[in-house]
């Protein structure tokens, strides 16, 4: 697991090498041409606020059609990265493109095809949910006013807010507000959705609905970029993962690549832990720890079948044997550091 925790430079190529065959990747002019094969691409994206580096040399590569889970603890730079992607914040260094179009140069065309949810919902409190959506649609010069009513109705329907559409926003619960924000992101046909903590404030039922909504959008071909600090919700829906820590992207790639980067560990339950530990050590298993009734270790390249066979040959009774990749949560903790301390 150590090779992944070390630095972003080591971890990031996980995704680059195999996942995204990009014509722009080998190019020396890495900031010059927006990469059209990617829905989101950043090169050396960096943001300093005074002396503090909020985002440090981030190279995001989100392929078209992916559901990309953007993970990291609070304060790791996720939202600042998203704000830079959407042109709200100007990076100190680096470049970014959405759907192959450079931001901010082509932001007007690009952002029209991008639905976004940034740092929670925000609407006019004394307007109804529907009126708030009408206002956002009115602001979009590329939106067709003739279809406004239909599009708003469809978006409200999709998030299950039709019944409450006429209520004032200030009377909405947190979950309803979150749903309205997602409806706003779906107002126009989108090629890319950037959703910052989309299930914040939703009950378990609502969380499931959002998950299935993201799934159905993705199956329509929409690329979805979801940031979250909740692993469970990301684990189930994401095809790709990126992990932020202290402003750096410490891992990126397809979900299996990122998870495969974690080291397999074995767990043996036996009545003879001492003998088992001796056998395992002789086989070349690393970090063998014998405890009461169980043994742990890191098998490295050894096949689980060979280990069990060796144990049985040595007369060790095996009650249970597990060789497992780390859960996403273990991986997350190993990548981002344990504990609840907010980074920096």
Partner 1 sequence: MSVAEAELAGTSHAPGIAALHPRRRRLSTRLLRSELRIIAGRRRNQAGLLVLAAVPIVMAIAVKMSTPRAGEGPDFLSSITSNGLFVPLAALSVEMAMFLPLAMSMLSGDAIAGEANLGTLRYLLTVPVNRTRLLLVKFASLCIGAVWGIAAVALPGAAIGIALFGTGPLTTLSGSQIGFGAAVWRLVLVILYLAAGLAGLAAVGLFISTLTEVPIAAAIALMVFTILSWILDSVPQLGWLHPWLLVDHWLAFGDLLRDPMAGGEIGRGLLTAAGYAVVFWLAAWARFAGKDITS
> Could you list the residues that contact partner 1 (CB under 8 A)?
23-24, 33-37, 39, 64, 83, 86-90, 99-101, 107-109, 111-114, 116, 118-127, 134-136, 138-142, 145, 184, 188-191, 221
CA 305/CA 307 separation, integer angstroms? 5
Rounded CA separation 223/245 (Å): 24
- Nearer to partner 1 by Cβ, of 122 and 171: the residue is 122
Nearest residue to 225 (alpha-carbon basis) of 193, 188, 252, 199 = 193
Structure tokens belonging to residue 298: 């890191």
Token look-up 């206002």 returns: 135
For residue 312, give the nearest of 284, 287, 283 by alpha carbon.
283
Cα separation values, 226 from 66, 105, 126, 265, Å: 10, 24, 29, 30
Q: How far is the CB of 253 from partner 1 (least distance, A)?
A: 21
Closer Cβ to partner 1, 16 or 48, answer by number: 48
Q: From the CB of 36, what's the least distance to partner 1, in Å? A: 4
The nearest distance, CB 271 to partner 1, in angstroms, is 59
Task: Using the minimum distance from each CB to partner 1, give the nearer residue, 111 or 266.
Answer: 111
Which residue, 8 or 121, is less far from partner 1 as judged by CB? 121
Minimum CB distance to partner 1, residue 188 (Å): 8
Beta carbon of residue 34, minimum distance to partner 1 (angstroms, whole number):
6
| Local structure of 116: helix, strand or coil | strand
- Is 20 or 118 the residue whose CB approaches partner 1 more closely? 118
Q: How far is the CB of 135 from partner 1 (least distance, A)?
A: 5
Burial annotation 89-126 (CB, 10 A radius, 16+ → b, else e): bebeebbbbbbbbbbeeeeeebbbbbbbbbeebebeee
Return the number of the residue (168 or 208) whose C-beta is nearest partner 1: 168
Find tokens 């832990």 and name the residue: 273
Residue 140 beta carbon to partner 1: minimum distance, rounded to whole angstroms: 5
The phi-psi region of residue 40 (left if phi > 0; otherwise alpha if psi is between -120 and 50; otherwise beta) is beta
The distance of closest approach from Cβ of residue 129 to partner 1 in the complex, given in angstroms and rounded to an integer, is 14
Cα-flanking dihedrals φ and ψ of residue 184, to 5°?
-60, -35
Residue 80 vs 263, nearer CB to partner 1: 80
Bridge partners for 61 per DSSP: 41
Give whichever of 114 and 213 is closer to partner 1, judged by the CB atom: 114
What is the spatial distance between Cα 344 and Cα 339, in angstroms, rounded to a whole number?
Answer: 13
- From CA 66, how far away is CA 209, in angstroms rounded? 19
């Amino acid at each position: 697991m150590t090779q992944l925790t070390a630095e972003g430079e080591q971890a990031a190529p996980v995704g680059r090498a195999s996942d995204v065959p990009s014509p722009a990747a080998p190019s020396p002019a890495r900031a010059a041409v927006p990469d059209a094969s990617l829905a989101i691409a950043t090169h050396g994206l960096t943001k300093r606020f005074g002396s503090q580096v909020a985002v440090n040399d981030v190279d995001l590569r989100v392929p078209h059609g992916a559901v990309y889970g953007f993970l990291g603890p609070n304060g790791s730079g996720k939202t600042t990265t998203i704000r830079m992607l959407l042109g709200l914040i100007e990076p100190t260094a680096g470049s970014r493109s959405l759907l192959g179009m450079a931001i901010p140069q082509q932001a007007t065309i690009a952002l029209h095809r991008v639905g976004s949810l940034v740092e929670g919902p925000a609407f006019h409190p004394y307007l109804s949910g529907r009126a708030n959506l009408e206002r956002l649609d009115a602001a979009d010069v590329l939106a067709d006013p003739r279809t406004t009513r239909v599009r708003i109705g469809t978006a409200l329907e999709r998030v299950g807010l039709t019944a409450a559409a006429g209520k004032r926003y200030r009377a909405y619960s947190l979950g309803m507000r979150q749903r309205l924000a997602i409806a706003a992101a779906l107002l126009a046909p989108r090629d890319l959705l950037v959703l910052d903590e989309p299930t914040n404030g939703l009950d378990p039922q609502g969380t499931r609905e959002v998950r299935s909504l993201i799934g159905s959008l993705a199956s329509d071909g929409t690329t979805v970029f979801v940031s979250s600090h909740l692993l469970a919700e990301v684990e189930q829906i994401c095809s790709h993962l990126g992990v932020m820590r202290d402003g750096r992207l410490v891992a990126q790639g397809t979900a299996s690549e990122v998870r495969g980067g974690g080291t397999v560990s074995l767990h043996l339950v036996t009545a003879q832990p001492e003998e088992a530990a001796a056998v395992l050590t002789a086989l070349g298993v690393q970090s063998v720890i014998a405890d009461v009734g169980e043994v742990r270790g890191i098998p490295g390249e050894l096949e689980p079948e060979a280990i069990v066979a060796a144990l049985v040959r040595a007369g060790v009774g095996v009650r249970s044997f597990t060789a497992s990749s780390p859960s996403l949560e273990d991986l997350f903790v190993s990548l981002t550091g344990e504990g609840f301390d907010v980074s920096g």
